Amino acid sequence: MAVDVTVPSLGESIQEVQVSAWLKQPGESVALDEPLIELESDKATVEVPAPAAGVIIEIVADVGAVLKVGDVLARIDTAAKATAAPPAPAQAATGEAPAAPPASTGEPHVMPAARRVLAERGLAADQVKGTGPAGRVLKEDAERAQGGPSAAPPAPKPAAAPPPPAFTGERNTRTMRMSPIRRKIAERLVQSQQNAALLTTFNEIDLTRAKAMRAEHQEAFQARYGTKLGYMSFFVKAAVEALQLVPEINARIEGDAVVYHDYCDIGIAVGGGKGLVVPVIRNAERLGFGELELAIGDFARRAQANKLDLDELQGGTFTISNGGVYGSLMSTPIINPPQSGVLGLHAIQDRPVAVDGQVVIRPMMYVALTYDHRLVDGRESVAFLKHIKQCVEQPERLLLKV
């Protein structure tokens, strides 16, 4: 029965190999797992063992051939016998010793790996005794050989590290169908990447004055509205001001037209019980700090309980995503199509900054604006973030609308 010898898988990153040498020839017998061929990849040279004992009846791939995993190298007949060796010469009747066979005038066959070692040591092939099949000079033979006076002795090989112990624990996998909301999130994110020219610009904001304002008015704010004054309302108010300054970021592309919105429906990304959701604050331009904080707190509670209505998750004109609540220091948020912009907020950290020629410690936050470059140019995106920065760093501007 004929058995195919094929190119084995040598690793996920290796797709092609080259035949560097055959260690057996047609008609020769081979034992199970005996080295049969040398293959070279872009990472290493490996020997391929015989998959079965028998006789090589065909070599399919010549030396130098470039092959892929699974291609046939040779075929072995597991039932055939090797070609018989020629009979030994008979002794002379007078009892004389048999004549010695004629000396070979050809150079011994040198394997490619051995040839490189010989070249490095300045050795000729006839200075090395081959121990491979049919006298082939193997890499090990070349490494054992000693060079002439000008050849440097081979460097001692470092002791091989013991192989790591085999892992004996369980390696389980689980397959679960994606939830509908996760499938929708995946669909929208891919849609955003495929249908928009996304670009992100960054800035940083000093929250010293916003932090002081929160501390000064927190007690009175809670007494009036029944909720804490957070930073998100500062950024929603600042975003409304900036969207009115740069209306392209509050617009969407529809075919070959641009639809501008004269209102600001701000989506607030919050973590829900089944994934990230983006409920929308309608007409945020009409709301004060208290109304914004109440709306944001209500969204967060109902998102955790999966109680948001479908219409609350649709129709936003701009989105704010606060990865800072999870500790994110920097990110590039992805637009929620068909919107043209999303503002990413990040963790507040005390960092040294230069103020009036002095190094001081301030509560700083990196902010990122991802925008659709088909509609918004770099100048407009930078102007938008600078206005956000100015409004939050000088929160009185939000009251004066300047």
CA distance 75 to 78: 10
Residue 199 within a domain = yes
Does 91 reside within a domain? Answer: no
136 and 191 in a single domain? The answer is no
Q: Are residues 241 and 115 in the same domain?
A: no
Count how many Cα atoms sit within 13 Å of the Cα of residue 221 in the half-sphere of its side chain: 18
* Same domain? 252 vs 376: yes
**What is the domain count for the chain?**
2
Catalytic residue among 262, 298, 377, 387: 377
pTM: 0.59
Does residue 260 sit in the same domain as residue 385? yes
DSSP annotation string for 172-219: -----PPPHHHHHHHHHHHHHHHHS-EEEEEEEEE-HHHHHHHHHHHH
213 in the same domain as 137: no
The residue that leads in pLDDT, 192 or 138, is 192
Whether the Cβ atoms of residue 393 and residue 384 lie closer than 8 Å to each other: no
pLDDT in tens, 219-271: 999 999 999 999 999 999 999 999 999 999 999 999 999 999 999 999 999 98
Considering the domain architecture, whether residues 136 and 187 belong to the same structural domain is answered as no
Residues 131 and 257 reside in one and the same domain: no
Q: Quick check: is 149 in a domain?
A: no
Beta bridge partners of 281: 266
Mark whether 117 and 206 lie in a shared domain: no
* 172 falls within a domain: no
Could you tell me which residues are beta bridge partners of residue 72?
6
| Mean local confidence (pLDDT), 202-221 | 96
CB-CB contact of 6 with 61 (8 Å): no
Range 140-149 burial, b when 16+ CB lie within 10 A, else e = ebbeebebee
Query: On the CB side of 361, how many CA atoms lie within 13 Å of its CA?
Result: 2
Q: C-alpha angle 27/31/33, rounded to 5°?
A: 125
Flag whether pLDDT at 57 surpasses 70. yes
Query: 361 and 253 in one domain?
Result: yes
Each as own residue / partner, the long-range contacts of residues 180-184 (CB below 8 Å, 24 or more positions apart, any chain) are 181/272, 181/274, 181/275, 181/277, 182/274, 182/275
Q: Is residue 185 part of a domain?
A: yes
Longest dimension (CA), the chain: 128
ω into residue 154 within 30 of 0, thus cis? no
Do the domain assignments include residue 44?
yes
Residue 153 pLDDT > 70, yes or no?
no
Query: Is the predicted pLDDT of residue 94 greater than 50, yes or no?
Result: no
H or E element at residue 379: helix 378-393
**Averaged pLDDT of the chain:** 85
| Beta-bridge partner residues of 203 | 367
pLDDT band at 402 (very low <50, low <70, confident <90, very high): low
Q: CA-CA distance, 198 to 200, in Å (whole number)? A: 7
The reply to whether 265 belongs to the active site is: no
Q: Residue 37 sits in which domain range? A: 2-80+111-144
Strand 251-254 to strand 280-281: parallel, antiparallel, or no bridges (unpaired)?
unpaired
Domain with residue 187: its CATH number is 3.30.559.10
Q: What is the CATH number of the domain that holds 56?
A: 2.40.50.100
- Does residue 377 have an active-site annotation? yes
pLDDT in tens, 330-389: 999 999 999 999 999 999 999 999 999 999 999 999 999 999 999 999 999 999 999 999
Residue 270 lies in a domain: yes
Residue 86 confidence (pLDDT): 43
Asked if residue 134 is part of any domain, the answer here is yes
**Residues 193 and 71 grouped into a single domain:** no
Is the domain of 268 the same as that of 218? yes
Residues 140 and 200 in one domain: no
Active-site choice (256, 265, 373, 387): 373
- 265 HSE (CA, 13 A, CB side): 18
